[in-house]
Structure 1
Amino acid sequence: MEIVDTHCHIISTDTERYPRKPLGGKQAPVGGKQSAWTHGRPLTAEELLERMDDAGIGRATLVQATTAYGYDNRYVLDTVRRRPDRFVAVGTFDAVREDAAEALGAAVDDGLSGVRLFTTDGSPTSEQGLWFADDAADPFWSEAAAVRLPVCLQLRLGPETIPALDRLLVRHPDALVLLDHCGYPDVRSSPADAAAQLTPFAARPNLHLKLTHRTLEGLRDLGDRAKEFVSPVFDAFSSERIAWGSNCPAAEQSLPELVALATGVLDGLPQQDVDNVFGNTARRLYPGLTRS
């Protein structure tokens, strides 16, 4: 089966055509801090293709490098125009702008297959925002639901974000939401407690999980105890709502290592579940990944 990666980033070497514009605080379009990986491990689209081929990955979603480009999605869009056979584009978007619904429609017409809301407003260490669930974002969510556009939410599950996320899912039941990095569950401290944070959301059929190294590394280190997280989460959501993403090159490991990490943690699951996580779920969320 062809492997699909739902979470890759690319950085262009052409800083004149694609200048760096990391998000600042409170949804500001500029003034943020670039993530260290964008300096230390940048990867162009061409280099990513080589690594995908080495890892046996057929297709991928190019997730906008928010802490490099902010809302300027041109590099991922231009790359998809060149290689629609391998990529779809997931861009960063301002969900609380006054013309969000109209702007989202234009972004879809421009080639976006999904959007990502980076709720920490820039630097990965900045304060968690809750604006994604504000009334001001309702026009965005309504439009995203109307055009069946998957929305990646980058947030950390916690006392404030859990009820906010649930309110959002209830208010917009037709919106397709993909929780980046599974919401960063603390599987190392207690895999059972981490699972218990997520499983109530299985009652919201519009929520999907993106399983990346940020969760898989902890599960690998737990050994047999990993099943205390994997079993209840897969039982609750089913593999049809779980997709794998590498987070390359933000992740320090190589792509083959990241594939092996996921394969090792999921070893023992039925083949259909593995096929869903490594491809089928992604293709359902992003139909563009199936085009020839």
Structure 2
Amino acid sequence: MTTFTDAHTHVISTDFDAYPRDPIGGKQSTWSEEHPVDVDGLLAAMDAAGVAQAVAVQASTVYGHDNRYLAASVAAHRDRLVGVYSLDAMAPDAVATIQRWQEAGLNGFRLFTTGTTMPGQADWLGHPDSYPAWAYAEEHGIPVCLQMTIDGIPALQKTLERYPGSRVVLDHCARPDLSDGAPYRTSHGLFDLAAFDGVHLKLTHRAIGAAAKGASTVEAFLDALLSTYGSSRLMWGSNFPAADGSLASLVKEGRESLAFLDDADAANVFGGTVRRFYAMAEASANV
């Protein structure tokens, strides 16, 4: 049996005074206003869904770069959660900020360059002012999570050429347009990134949904990813509670959508890859 690990969840406190809202871009996301989930709610949802462990990614459209609630949540549940903090890589003190949150027990940072409240692709990705953060992450083996679009791939490629040892995971597979179907020429940049060994992809509900549009099918997209990246660089994430529905329903949807994977590939996608990427100790609960 596979230890089921969710690569992409969020936690939001109900204590507005202790953890005030300060979203990146100045606008809070609709989902976080309509159906927020705190850490106790996340753990309860994980138990109900048979999820042993999860990566809690900073809710950037709620707290911006204030990662205190995330850090407190992870500190209280290290056996179940790993935390990924939000970072302003352009800030002069970016390296000191990385050191601060790593010492607080979080594991890797997220660069938020697009989202529902910030459509398009931010032009600061790959800017020289961000190089100290990339250099420090490469030197110390710190994972980098990227919320970006396909349009940001040239800037990412330029950065990875400078820091080829970087360990990177792309949220939602960088939001590709897959409607043209295999061989996916519209999103060729996503497959070009496979040349960098440290690049990994998150197969979230958003990415799986994109793979089912137009001339594409989920199986054809996965076949293309498996042939270029291999399952050891692919990880499934629910995006709970940003995604509509319960965590249990999202897990069910993920299992059904990827039911064609063989046992070895499924073991990687639904747990093995993310645990290796974030050096997570495997939980004892199996599903």
TM-score, normalisation: structure 2: 0.92
The reply on whether 1:54 has 2:45 as its aligned counterpart is no
* Cα displacement (A) at 1:228: 2.5
User: What do the CA deviations read for 1:140-187 (whole angstroms, capped 9, x no partner)?
Assistant: 0011112211111101102xx221111111111111110110001122
Output the CA distance in 2 between the equivalents of 1:97 and 1:202.
29
Output the CA distance in 1 between the equivalents of 2:160 and 2:217.
30
- Contact conserved, 1:33 with 1:123, CA < 8 A, in 2? no
The reply on whether 1:271 has 2:272 as its aligned counterpart is no
Output the CA distance in 2 between the equivalents of 1:264 and 1:90.
28
Q: 1:4 is matched with which residue?
A: 5
Q: Which moved more, 1:13-22 or 1:188-197?
A: 188-197
Q: 1:101 is matched with which residue?
A: 95
Output the CA distance in 2 between the equivalents of 1:250 and 1:291.
25
* Cα displacement (A) at 1:196: 3.0
Q: 1:198 is matched with which residue?
A: 190
Tell me which of 165, 171, 182 is aligned to 1:180.
171
Tell me which of 32, 39, 44 is aligned to 2:33.
39
The reply on whether 1:216 has 2:187 as its aligned counterpart is no
Q: Secondary structure at the match of 1:290?
A: coil
- Contact conserved, 2:219 with 2:258, CA < 8 A, in 1? no
Q: 1:85 is matched with which residue?
A: 79
User: What do the CA deviations read for 1:238-259 (whole angstroms, capped 9, x no partner)?
Assistant: 0111111110000002212211
- Contact conserved, 2:176 with 2:210, CA < 8 A, in 1? no
Alignment of 1:241-252 (within 5 A): 241-252=233-244
* Cα displacement (A) at 1:125: 3.5
Q: 2:280 is matched with which residue?
A: 288
Q: Which moved more, 1:224-233 or 1:42-51?
A: 224-233
The reply on whether 1:16 has 2:17 as its aligned counterpart is yes
Q: Which moved more, 1:207-216 or 1:184-193?
A: 184-193
- Contact conserved, 1:180 with 1:209, CA < 8 A, in 2? yes
- Contact conserved, 2:3 with 2:283, CA < 8 A, in 1? no
Output the CA distance in 2 between the equivalents of 1:219 and 1:203.
22
Output the CA distance in 2 between the equivalents of 1:212 and 1:252.
12
Q: Secondary structure at the match of 2:43?
A: helix
Distance change in 2, residues 1:2/1:291 (3 Å): closer
- Contact conserved, 1:20 with 1:68, CA < 8 A, in 2? yes
In the alignment, structure 1 segments of 5+ residues that lack a partner are: 25-31
User: What do the CA deviations read for 1:235-279 (whole angstroms, capped 9, x no partner)?
Assistant: 100011111111000000221221122222222222111110111
- Contact conserved, 1:59 with 1:289, CA < 8 A, in 2? no
Q: Secondary structure at the match of 1:96?
A: coil
Distance change in 2, residues 1:16/1:224 (3 Å): closer
- Contact conserved, 1:86 with 1:289, CA < 8 A, in 2? no
- Contact conserved, 1:169 with 1:207, CA < 8 A, in 2? no
Output the CA distance in 2 between the equivalents of 1:115 and 1:154.
11
Q: Secondary structure at the match of 1:136?
A: helix
* Cα displacement (A) at 1:127: 4.1
**AA in 2 matched with 1:132:** L
Output the CA distance in 1 between the equivalents of 2:212 and 2:281.
29
Q: 1:129 is matched with which residue?
A: 122
- Relative to its length, the structure with more helix (as a share) is 1
- Contact conserved, 2:180 with 2:216, CA < 8 A, in 1? no
Provide the aligned C-alpha RMSD in A: 1.9
Output the CA distance in 2 between the equivalents of 1:51 and 1:223.
35
Alignment of 1:100-179 (within 5 A): 100-120=94-114, 124-158=117-151, 161-179=152-170
Q: Secondary structure at the match of 1:61?
A: strand
In the alignment, structure 2 segments of 5+ residues that lack a partner are: none
Output the CA distance in 1 between the equivalents of 2:261 and 2:176.
21
* Cα displacement (A) at 1:124: 2.8
Output the CA distance in 2 between the equivalents of 1:264 and 1:231.
16
Question: % of aligned pairs identical?
Answer: 40
Output the CA distance in 2 between the equivalents of 1:51 and 1:70.
24
**AA in 2 matched with 1:98:** P
